[in-house]
Amino acid sequence: MNQRAEILLVDDREENLLALEAMLRDEDAVLLKARSGREALELLLDHEVALALLDVQMPEMDGFELAELMRGMARTREIPIVFITAGLHDQARVFRGYESGAVDFLFKPLDGHVLASKVRVFLQLFHQKRQLAERVGELETALGERRQALEALRRSEEHFRAIAESLPQLVFEADAQGRPHYFNRRFEEFLGVRPGSLPALGERVPPDDWLRLEASWRQAVLDSAPLECEHRLRRHDGQYRWFITRAFPVCSAGGRVLRWFGTATDIHELKQTQEALHAADRNKDRFLAMLSHELRNPLAPIKNSLFILGQAAPGSPQGRRAQGVIGRQVDQLVRLVEDLLDVTRITQGKIYIRRERLDLNLLLRHVIEDHRPQIERGEIDLEVRLPAAPAFVDGDGTRLAQVVGNLLQNSIKFTSPGGAIRISAQLDPSRGQAAIRVADNGMGIEPTLLPQLFRPFTQADTSLSRTQGGLGLGLALVKGLVELHGGEVSAHSEGLGRGAEFEVRLPLAEAAAARAPVAAAPVHAVPRRVLIIEDNVDAADSLREVLELGGHQVAVAYDGPEGVARARELRPDVVLCDIGLPGMDGYAVARLLRSDPSLEGVHLVALSGYALPADLERAAAAGFERHVAKPPTPEKLAELLAALPAREWRAEEASPA
């Protein structure tokens, strides 16, 4: 008489176990109940379980973790697992369930008839496997029972096929020597072959993957050991998708391999995600290496020049040259930081353009004049072709000048002395666009690099020396800014050594009379009493000296509490306050100063590296009148202080110490 099969029910809630027991009460099986993963493992060590029904969400050890432990133990490796969950029908959770070794995934509330039907199939399969093992063993010792054993094998095969057809994976079966002789319907549909045919998988797997898969399969058959291998497989429409193939030997009671049972699970989306993460990680490493290189480059001449300034006589040619070097290198550092910030703002959708009616001809002439010294130093011929009529667009003049300047700078960088650059603009009324082209006969671009040229951190100069420098952000900025204007940018090159051409297309505006430029009002130095609150001592002291050179009276505090105390003591006209202060940040300082009646009328200016729109709004809410992004230029500070309304000085007010 056959031993009754045992079913393991695992759920941390007693009412769920009782519900499962009620649904399966009529089945000819012993129901083992466990309320945790640990209790389930103890039962598995003492019982031969035919089927495990696992709840997914359990404390300490969830269903996925329990399934992985079962698959890792020889005793429990082949026990069918059905996950039961009350969660949402999440494809990722289902995928993880099958990856953990599940044969089915059921969602609550359960249909008792469906559950009982599925369990009945697995119980039948368990009995059939047990009978098959017994009969195969008898066949080895008694040839007279051969017919009965073969019949049991046939019935078991029918049950196996029924289960295989119900699985979502691609299922196959192979003989003891590893030759496939069965593919389930899903496998046939994926390959696009006739039902019952035996496709040649070697023709559907890329050669490199096939060599690896075939070698792993031969070794598994030789060792009678399970197989697991990732590879690509061509679908009937020609698309290659990534799969993880697993195969397990089905053995007789005596340990002899009778056949192989295998599944192929689609992991294409997971693989693509992994590859994208790896690519992002590689890009991060390249970016950090470039950033380190580009930041270190200006630091050496700055340090050398500071040493020269300390040794050279004031006003000497050496001193003036050192000052020039420091100025140029600091400008380079500022450009690097601004490029990084601009790319971040564009990708986050936090950059704004101020549209006005612009004549592209005038804008291009200004950009060309700004870069003419570089062009002349590089001994490069420049050809300019502009339309006779004005080309009006509605755009941000500063940002469009940045676009053209980046393209021109790029051509200058990769064009050798004696080379040529051509800048042209054309009107295309039929498309309602203006086309700006910057072309050179310089280094050129590899065809493989063109599709990714406008991605951040992409460099045409990938050699170890990287003589041209840069973070590879210029063209990414160009693309982002052009698209913000409703335009498009493209690049073309015949290859290395054959030059490159960049084209920017912008929507034309209706022709309008050009506005005469408004002359900037001269900035008159108005003496102010200024309090600087800044925790960076060098930044605070250097800013004080800049303002004192402009005729202002300046005091400094190096933290928030000291700044509040000095403001109450000195009653300045203007407070320049850093936001990122230790102990008490700039917002708290502003709120305290605004709440003090004795400081009514003091102008509060936020001086910070936090310059996104949300930062400006927060600064205004705290009481700041203005917001200046670091590092401010002396001209910007002079303009700001001149624009602030003057306070009426009182004789009793103290002077800064």
What pLDDT was estimated at residue 576?
A: 94
* pLDDT category of residue 74 using cuts at 50, 70 and 90: confident
Interval 347-388: pLDDT, tens = 655 566 778 899 988 999 888 887 888 888 889 999 999 888
Which pLDDT score is estimated for 527? 86
pLDDT at 293: 53
Give the lowest-confidence range in 499-503, 531-535, 555-559, 644-648: 644-648
CA-to-CA dists, residue 309 to 116, 176, 312, angstroms: 89, 84, 5
pLDDT single digits (tens) 201-221: 888 999 999 999 999 999 999
> What average pLDDT score do residues 141-163 get?
66
- Interval 296-301 mean pLDDT: 66
3-class secondary structure, 418:
coil
Of 476, 487, 479, 519, nearest to 355 by C-alpha is 487
CA distances (Å), 154 to each of 150, 151, 159, 347, 373, in order?
6, 5, 9, 62, 89
Interval 19-35: pLDDT, tens: 888 888 877 889 999 99
Query: Percent of the chain at pLDDT above 90?
Result: 26
H or E segment to which residue 440 belongs: strand 433-440
Angle between helices 613-622 and 586-594 (to 10 degrees): 30
pLDDT bin (cut points 50, 70, 90) of residue 279 is confident
Mean pLDDT highest for which of 274-283, 459-468, 493-502? 493-502
CA dihedral (213, 219, 225, 227) in degrees, to 10, reads: -10
38-65 b/e (C-beta count within 10 Å ≥ 16 → b): eebbebbeeeebbbbbbbbebeebbbbe
pLDDT value for 104: 86
Distance CA 624, CA 644 (A): 13
**Which structure tokens are listed for 112?**
């008792």
Across the chain, mean pLDDT equals: 82
- Can you spell out the DSSP letters for 558-619? SSHHHHHHHHHHH--SEEEEESS-SSS-HHHHHHHHHT-GGGTT-EEEEEES--SHHHHHHH
Which strand (E) or helix (H) includes residue 630?
A: none
Report the sign of the C-alpha dihedral through residues 623, 626, 632, 636, in that order.
negative
Distance in Å from the first CA to the final CA of the chain: 104
| Residue 131 near residue 152, CB atoms below 8 Å | yes
**Structure-model confidence comparison of residues 417 and 294, the more confident one:** 417
Q: Could you tell me the two tokens for 143?
A: 């040839």
- Comparing 455 with 623, the larger pLDDT belongs to 623
Q: Which residue has the tokens 């506005």?
A: 515
Structure confidence at residue 160 (pLDDT): 67
Condensed to tens digits (0 to 9), the pLDDT of residues 33-57 reads 999 989 999 999 989 898 999 998 8
Tokens of 656: 């800064």
- Assess contact for 64 and 100: CB atoms under 8 A: yes
Q: What is the pLDDT of residue 651?
A: 40
Residues forming beta bridges with residue 230, ordered by sequence position: 244
Which strand ranges, in their side-by-side order, compose the sheet holding 49-55? 29-34, 5-10, 49-55, 81-85, 104-107
Which pLDDT band holds residue 152 (cuts at 50, 70, 90)?
Answer: low
Buried/exposed code over 497-535 (b: 16+ C-beta within 10 A; e: otherwise): eebbbbbbbbebbeeeeeeeeeeeeeeeeeebbbbbbbb
What is the pLDDT confidence band of residue 484, given thresholds at 50, 70 and 90?
A: confident
Reading the block at residue 439, the tokens are 């072309």
Chain centre distance of CA 627: 31
Q: Is the pLDDT of residue 231 over 90?
A: yes
Least confident of 239-248, 424-433, 444-453, 572-581: 444-453
